[in-house]
Amino acid sequence: MNTNENRPPVMSRRELVASAGAFAAAGMIADVVAKADAVVAGVEDRATSIKITSVTPFPLGSKTLIKIQTNHGITGWGEISQLPPKTVIALLESMYELLDGENPTRVEYLWQKLYRAHRDFRGGAFMVHTISGIDMALWDITGKLHGVPVYRLLGGPTRDKIRTYPSAKAVKTAPGMPFPYSGDAIDVQELVKRVKDARKQVGPDGTVMFDCHCQLPPPILIQFANAIESYDVLWLEEPAVPGNIEVFKRLKQQIRIPIATGERDRGIWEVIPYLQNNCVDILQPDCGHGGGISQLRKVATLAEAYNVPLAPHSILSFLGQSASFNAVATIPNLLIHEFYPSDLQGVLHRKWDVDKDGYATLPEGPGLGCDVDEDKLVKLSAEIGMKYKWPGAHYKDGAIADY
């Protein structure tokens, strides 16, 4: 009887070492896979289980900053611009009923939910300005959740920097006051002088823009536009009050200087007529007025189809400006971007900079790329709070004027 038949085979030293190494490697691989699965599970859990728990407004006169909090401790910030704070607070309180408990990373879904919530409320400045601030905050949360700048979630940057104005070589001038329906020669001369002075300031290689502010009715505007052709103005901005496409068509037929508009047009629906009727050369959507990051990018796509560049309007603080920069970093048809420094008395700390030539770096860090000093914000809000003054533009004779 062979007593070795039931014994395990004898392994050589080399085979023992190789076997041990294989078992160790398998164990290491299993450990790595387990840890990777745990990380993935954690990310997925945070992305699917994150919920909105509160929305807090901080009124600052004509601006209101908003804070959206979540159950995972991630906070998003947005800016609502050019609305009376009493109106903003009431709208936010009502709109929160549609946001409470929702997943903030469903940005487009929540945008549609707010905009289409009531068939008689959709559109209009009060609603869309408020949605704009909420949209910024939702993107801020989503970027922070995934640890990347918002523009990384939007397809990545199409450029390395963003040209802004005003700068040493790009300035914009304006009428300074509302003009009556028809202008005398002296009125036209005064307007021409503003353009002439701006051209002298930036030199022959600089950029000059003229913002009509809807203060020049068609007769004087046509006279003025014909008188400044030799000064190579990049655009005439807001030549007419939005809403009457026939006026824009009339102006476009008689003015050879490029026409720009869009800061008071909200969402994709209000810019379509300009493009379809070929009556503007440059679109100027405002991230804080037209629906936030989500709508600004859609407007850019519409404009791209018509080969119309974007020169976004902006009188936003560093917070809203950061949101707009994240949006335009991803579009192919950017011309130039408006920018006026505003950190709200040290409340905001941007993660981007603008060089001497007017070029801004792309926002850094997760989210929008702008930090908020909440302690200073609370103090500043207590000081400014509900203070708001309506513009109340008039002509010299006391009649109400457009602005």
Q: Where are the domains of the chain?
A: 52-149, 153-367
Q: State the SS3 of 127-174.
A: HHHHHHHHHHHHHHHHHHHHCCEHHHHCCCCCCCEEEEECECCEEEEC
Q: Do domains 52-149 and 153-367 have the same CATH topology?
A: no
The CATH topology of domain 153-367 is TIM Barrel (3.20.20)
* Apex 379 CA angle, 375 and 383, nearest 5: 165
pTM for the whole structure: 0.88
Residues 6+ apart with CB under 8 A from 117: 95, 98
52-149 to CATH, choices 2.30.110.10, 3.30.43.10, 3.30.390.10, 3.20.20.150: 3.30.390.10
Q: What is the DSSP letter of 230?
A: G
321: number of CA atoms within 13 Å, CB side? 28
Residues 6+ apart with CB under 8 A from 14: none
Which residues on neighbouring strands pair with residue 244, listed in sequence order? none
Within 50-124, residue ranges assigned H as helices are: 85-99, 107-115
Per-residue pLDDT 10s for the chain (403 aa) are: 444 555 545 555 555 445 555 545 555 555 655 565 555 555 567 889 999 999 999 999 999 999 999 999 999 999 999 999 999 999 999 999 999 999 999 999 999 999 999 888 888 899 999 999 999 999 999 999 999 999 999 999 999 999 999 999 999 999 988 877 666 888 899 999 999 999 999 999 999 999 999 989 898 999 999 999 999 999 999 999 998 999 999 999 999 999 999 999 999 999 999 999 999 999 999 999 999 999 999 999 999 999 999 999 999 999 999 999 999 999 999 999 999 999 999 999 999 999 999 999 999 999 999 999 999 999 999 999 999 999 888 888 888 888 7
